[in-house]
């Protein structure tokens, strides 16, 4: 058994047996290509001969150059891959059974204030600026993932009713409301700009001047350029607008379960990180403004 044939079999398994999404398959294969290349370079040409010692050595090198999120995903990829090998061979000793799970490093999400976000929502009659405003406003007002905005089609968009039906991670469906002001900006783009750029029959809501589906990378560029133009020095990505959406909902008194549903989180613990952000903000407000805290500072 060699790596090329095994990875081809595993790709077939992911696509047609597990029916994984294309992006999930691509992510798995990217990790496994790095993994298999390392193994071949170290003289291990048969995936079935991999031992835990080799996996540990590979991970030690990998961890030096990758973020915690990538490391966590890689561990999951390796466990799933070797479990697949176990299904195809009797008496296979899965080396990942002895693989130590990495510790998840929880970082508080970075978010923008409502005032900073308002600087990103630019009114203009320029087609490109109308387009960019519609994207940025929708990301902040709905908490969409950048991939969900890129993939958004008119079959998911209910303009008259004011909501979007999203098929998120794991094919999990959720409904997200669109604020009236955001609807205005979105309709302005759809009615005035999109018809100018449309070529053929493209059902994606956001398209480029060439009539193609807008890419995730393009949306990243839009958000970063808007922040730069607004003088916002914090490193901002589309995902930080999602953080801002969640944080403002909790600050306004929204129930944690509601925020979980709107974000499309399968696990409530993922949403709970935003309660820590809000708690930190409350402490900062107390330290700055509460009379008792001021008196304590003055007495020193």
DSSP string, 199-262: -S---BSSB-TTSPBPPHHHHHHHHHHHHHHHT--S---HHHHHHHHHHHHHHTT--HHHHHHH
pLDDT at 300 over 50: no
265 is catalytic: yes
pTM over 0.85: no
Active site residue 174: no
Residue 231 has pLDDT above 60, yes or no: yes
The rounded distance, in Å, linking the Cα atoms of 86 and 219 is 41
274 is catalytic: yes
Lowest mean pLDDT among 81-85, 204-208, 264-268: 264-268
Provide the pLDDT for residue 68. Answer: 80
Q: Is the confidence at residue 286, as pLDDT, over 60?
A: no
**Per-residue confidence (pLDDT) for residue 183, from 0 to 100:** 97
| Span 40-55, pLDDT tens digits | 999 999 999 999 999 9
Which of 75, 82, 132, 145 does the annotation list as catalytic?
Answer: 145
**Helix 238-251 and helix 268-289: axis angle, to 10°?**
70
Question: How confident is the model over 76-83, as a mean pLDDT?
Answer: 96
The per-residue pLDDT for range 125-143, each reduced to its tens digit, is 999 999 999 999 999 999 9
59 burial via Cβ count (<10 Å: 0-12, 13-18, 19+): buried
Q: Which tokens is 290 given?
A: 């509460």
Q: Looking at the domain that runs over 114-288, which CATH code has it been given?
A: 1.10.443.10
Output 162 or 89, whichever has higher pLDDT.
162
- Residue 242 bears catalytic tag: yes
Topology classification of domain 3-98: DNA polymerase; domain 1 (1.10.150)
Chain mean pLDDT for the chain: 87
Token digits for 226? 């808007």
Residue 284's pLDDT is: 60
Query: Quick check: is 145 catalytic?
Result: yes
Domain boundaries, the chain: 3-98, 114-288
b (16+ CB within 10 A) / e for 204-236: bbbbeeeeebbebebbeebbeebbeebebeeeb
Catalytic residue among 79, 169, 212, 281: 169
Query: pLDDT, tens digit, for every residue of 172-209?
Result: 789 999 999 999 999 999 999 999 999 989 999 999 99
Flag whether pLDDT at 78 surpasses 60: yes
13 included as an active-site residue: no
Catalytic residue among 75, 226, 240, 265: 265
CA atoms of 157 and 165, how far apart (whole Å): 7
Highest mean pLDDT among 98-107, 151-160, 260-269: 151-160
């Amino acid at each position: 058994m060699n790596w090329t044939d095994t990875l081809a079999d595993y790709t077939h398994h992911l696509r047609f047996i597990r029916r994984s999404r294309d992006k999930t398959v691509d992510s798995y294969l990217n990790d496994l290509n790095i993994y298999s290349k390392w193994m071949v370079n170290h003289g291990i040409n048969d995936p079935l001969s991999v031992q835990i010692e080799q996996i540990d050595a590979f991970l030690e090198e990998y961890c030096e150059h990758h973020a915690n999120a990538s490391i966590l995903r890689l561990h999951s990829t390796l466990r799933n891959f070797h479990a697949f090998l176990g299904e195809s061979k009797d008496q296979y000793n899965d080396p990942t059974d002895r693989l130590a799970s990495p510790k998840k490093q929880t970082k508080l999400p970075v978010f923008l204030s409502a005032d900073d976000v308002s600087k990103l929502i630019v009114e203009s009659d320029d087609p490109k600026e109308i387009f960019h405003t519609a994207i940025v406003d929708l990301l902040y007002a709905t908490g969409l993932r950048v991939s969900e905005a890129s993939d958004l089609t008119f079959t998911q968009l209910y303009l008259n009713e004011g909501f979007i039906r999203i098929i998120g991670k794991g094919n999990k469906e959720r409904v997200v409301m669109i604020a009236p002001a955001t609807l205005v900006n979105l309709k302005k783009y759809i009615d005035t700009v999109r018809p100018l750029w449309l070529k053929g029959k493209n059902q994606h809501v956001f398209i480029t001047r060439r009539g193609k589906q807008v890419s995730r990378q393009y949306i990243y560029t839009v958000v970063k350029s808007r922040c730069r133009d607004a003088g916002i020095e914090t490193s901002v990505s589309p995902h930080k607008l999602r953080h801002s959406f969640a944080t403002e909902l909790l600050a306004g008194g929204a129930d944690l379960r509601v925020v979980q549903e709107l974000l499309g989180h399968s696990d409530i613990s993922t949403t709970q990180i935003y309660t820590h952000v809000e708690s930190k903000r409350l402490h900062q407000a107390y330290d700055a403004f509460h009379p008792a805290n001021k008196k304590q500072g003055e007495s020193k």
